[in-house]
Structure 1
Amino acid sequence: MAQNVLRIDASARRDGSISRRLVDRILDRFAPASVTRRDLADPLPLIDETWIGANFTPADQRTDEQRAALALSDELIAEIEAVDTLVIGLPIYNFGVPATFKAWIDLVARAGVTFRYTEAGPEGLLKDKRAIVAVASGGTEVGSDIDFATGYVRHMLAFIGITDVTFVSADRLMIDAEATLKDAEAQVDSLAA
């Protein structure tokens, strides 16, 4: 049975992006699949006071303006709800995630919708999903003390309920791009579809 996959590209580069190239290779392993695409090179708006006010207003009391303020957030959450697997292309910019990816996180992490608070702590509500994150970096080694991207991504995905997370790493490309890419492609080839 074909899987439903959400492809999220966070690279600002549409051409020559290593994270996009790795995502293409990952999706080849899922073929045939139904793929929804979300390209963050088309930037998302940042949350603002209007959005926050709408988000903290009970759904049955929201004005038309507040519903409109949350419409994109609702759409992004629906994209996640509709799939089995998220495949995320994530470059590391300045040791962290691109601002556009952080904007995506801010729009999908919503109390009472994608997570809730319990006496035992927060509980993610988007369960039974898998995420594969293709990471590319010029000099930041994934998992090192200066990698502020992968731990954040793992934490935020778990926060909304996605705990089955695999990273494919093409890190330190500026040091040995050929060996790094070969290793990353081998990581993709070993993934279970």
Structure 2
Amino acid sequence: MSKLLHLDTSIQTSNSVSRRLSAAIVDKLKQTDETLEITYRDLAAYPLPHLSEPVFAAVVEAVDASGLSPALQADAVESANVLAEFLAADTLVIGVAFYNYSIPSSLKAWIDRVIVAGKTFTYGGGAGPVGLARGKRVIVAIARGGVFADGTPFAHREHAERYLRDIFALVGIDDIEVVVAEGLAYGPEANAASLESAMNHIGVISATTI
């Protein structure tokens, strides 16, 4: 039985394109694997706190957390759960709302719990970091109000897809699959066309995990 971790990040609920796309991707993957075990996290509705030094020490460095406040102890437990979910997942599907040229801070808070030296990557000396999370499949659905695709005037302001590619490469996941709907703020026709294009892209995604 394979495991899928599904993350959503948009602060919108009923009108979120990234949520719609990520749900469609999960549905596509379920088509050929009815036993697929899915764990879902809504990082906007239930955000993780920003990582703090005491929690980092408790989770990563195994420092005794008994002296922490109840809130920090709970944070340390949840951080360990988040890391365990990531390590156990065969596939990740992430719905990303493109805010202020980048990813939502809720997703960055999650990333800080799973990109951990000694757990998901290690320092490889002169060769650079070595990823320890190889073999996972990552599919990202990004919704952008403007147009930031390569070759467009504002491509240099796209700091979501390029950041996610870099950060997952750090842990050994070098080839993430990205579905983009953009130009969503350019009126109903542009919105509908972009959404249709993204859904068509999802339609040809392989339902077989890597």
Residue 203 of structure 2 corresponds to which residue in structure 1?
189
1:136-167 Cα offsets, whole Å, 9 max, x none, are: 01014244111011110111111122223000
SS of 2:199 mapped into structure 1: helix
Say if 1:4 and 1:85, in contact at 8 Å, map to a contact too.
yes
Say if 2:60 and 2:116, in contact at 8 Å, map to a contact too.
no
Say if 2:59 and 2:79, in contact at 8 Å, map to a contact too.
no
Higher mean displacement: 138-147 or 175-184 = 138-147
Unaligned stretches of 5+ in structure 1?
none
Residue 39 of structure 2 corresponds to which residue in structure 1?
36
User: What is the TM-score normalised by the length of structure 1?
Assistant: 0.91
Residue 169 of structure 2 corresponds to which residue in structure 1?
158
Residue 177 of structure 1 corresponds to which residue in structure 2?
191
Residue 45 of structure 1 corresponds to which residue in structure 2?
49
Of the candidates 132, 143, 168, which is equivalent to residue 136 of structure 1? 143
Q: What is the alpha-carbon distance in structure 2 between the residues aligned to residue 105 and residue 140 of structure 1?
A: 25
In structure 2, give the amino acid aligned to 1:184: A
In structure 2, give the amino acid aligned to 1:9: D
Paired residues in the alignment total 190
Residue 6 of structure 1 corresponds to which residue in structure 2?
5
In structure 2, give the amino acid aligned to 1:111: A
What percentage of aligned pairs have identical amino acids?
A: 38
Q: What is the alpha-carbon distance in structure 2 between the residues aligned to residue 134 and residue 93 of structure 1?
A: 14
Q: What is the alpha-carbon distance in structure 2 between the residues aligned to residue 88 and residue 169 of structure 1?
A: 12
Residue 94 of structure 2 corresponds to which residue in structure 1?
88
1:14-55 Cα offsets, whole Å, 9 max, x none, are: 211101101111111111221100110111100123224435
Query: Which protein has the bigger strand share?
Result: 1
Residue 71 of structure 1 corresponds to which residue in structure 2?
77
1:60-87 Cα offsets, whole Å, 9 max, x none, are: x534347935322211111111121000
Say if 2:7 and 2:43, in contact at 8 Å, map to a contact too.
yes
In structure 2, give the amino acid aligned to 1:136: A
Q: What is the alpha-carbon distance in structure 2 between the residues aligned to residue 95 and residue 152 of structure 1?
A: 11
In structure 1, give the amino acid aligned to 2:148: E
SS of 1:179 mapped into structure 2: helix
Unaligned stretches of 5+ in structure 2?
none
